[in-house]
A = this chain, B = another copy of it.
């Protein structure tokens, strides 16, 4: 009899382990085997066996009867080149930018159709932002995302324009044509704005960190309440910091 369960096109053990690790959400502490089975779609006994193996190797930790992400994963995560090199170089510039503007500073990279925040420096008076280091947001809805896209190979942009542009607020750009035009403007000015497109009441000013080939590696941004964040006033500071960081990355210092 032919197997009734259509074999997932990719269900090697590696894929299952990745699925299992990815099943832990940002706010989770410890999670039970049954819950993980539900989230991943894997049989319960399979989850139990794999998590036991992962606990033995240290990637997961037992917490009571449940299981949680292990400290080893934090250590490994800190070694990821895409963020490590960038962050080391960026923090001083971000610190200066925060000092000069008294606004919240973000550093993000593009990954697929989303941006991932690599560093965030908050400021006492600033608004409470939902962003967090390691967090993911649709690129087209953010200042950093638009800054990076405007200085990316056209193939990357076209791939983005072909898919859905998720709506985060009523001002989020969801029309491909509008986004394309916006990106041309960003490319001309070197600065991208986010006028309440990612969160209500929040305005951002972003500028790309460029590699030697002129393509963006990352982007810096300032975020604040719309009432106090006047783009024109802060864009020179952001642009300057981003250019300085770009230069520092090239010269290896």
**A interface list, Cβ under 8 A from B:** 10, 12-15, 17-19, 21-22, 24-26, 28-30, 50, 53-54, 56-59, 61, 68-83, 85, 109, 111, 116, 118, 132-136
Given contacts A14-B17, A14-B53, contact A22 B72 (CB under 8 A): yes
Check if A57 sits within 8 Å of B26, measured CB to CB: no
Q: Which residues of B contact A50 (CB under 8 A)?
A: 14
Q: A54: which of B14, B22, B71 is its contact (CB, 8 Å)?
A: B14
Check if A78 sits within 8 Å of B77, measured CB to CB: yes
Check if B76 sits within 8 Å of A24, measured CB to CB: yes
Sample of 30 A–B contacts (CB below 8 Å): A10-B57, A13-B14, A14-B59, A15-B53, A15-B56, A15-B57, A17-B57, A18-B54, A18-B72, A22-B72, A22-B76, A24-B79, A25-B79, A28-B79, A30-B81, A61-B82, A69-B76, A69-B80, A70-B82, A71-B82, A71-B109, A71-B111, A71-B116, A73-B76, A73-B80, A74-B116, A74-B118, A77-B77, A78-B135, A79-B134
- A118, B78: Cα distance in complex, Å: 10
Check if B134 sits within 8 Å of A57, measured CB to CB: no
- Nearest-Cβ distance from residue A12 to partner chain B, whole angstroms: 5
- Nearest-Cβ distance from residue A74 to partner chain B, whole angstroms: 4
Q: A81: which of B12, B15, B29, B109 is its contact (CB, 8 Å)?
A: B29
Check if B73 sits within 8 Å of A73, measured CB to CB: yes
Check if B134 sits within 8 Å of A59, measured CB to CB: no
Q: Which of A13, A50, A118, A136 has the most CB of B within 10 A?
A: A13
Q: Which residues of B contact A116 (CB under 8 A)?
A: 71, 74-75
Q: Which residues of B contact A134 (CB under 8 A)?
A: 74-75, 77-79
- Nearest-Cβ distance from residue A144 to partner chain B, whole angstroms: 15
**Identity of the chain B residue whose Cβ is nearest the Cβ of A53 in the assembled complex:** B14
Check if B136 sits within 8 Å of A75, measured CB to CB: yes
Q: Which residues of B contact A17 (CB under 8 A)?
A: 13-14, 17, 57
Extra A-B contacts (11), CB below 8 Å, given A10-B57, A13-B14, A69-B79: A14-B17, A14-B53, A14-B59, A15-B56, A18-B72, A21-B59, A22-B72, A68-B80, A68-B81, A77-B78, A78-B133
Q: Which residues of B contact A76 (CB under 8 A)?
A: 21-22, 24, 69, 73, 77
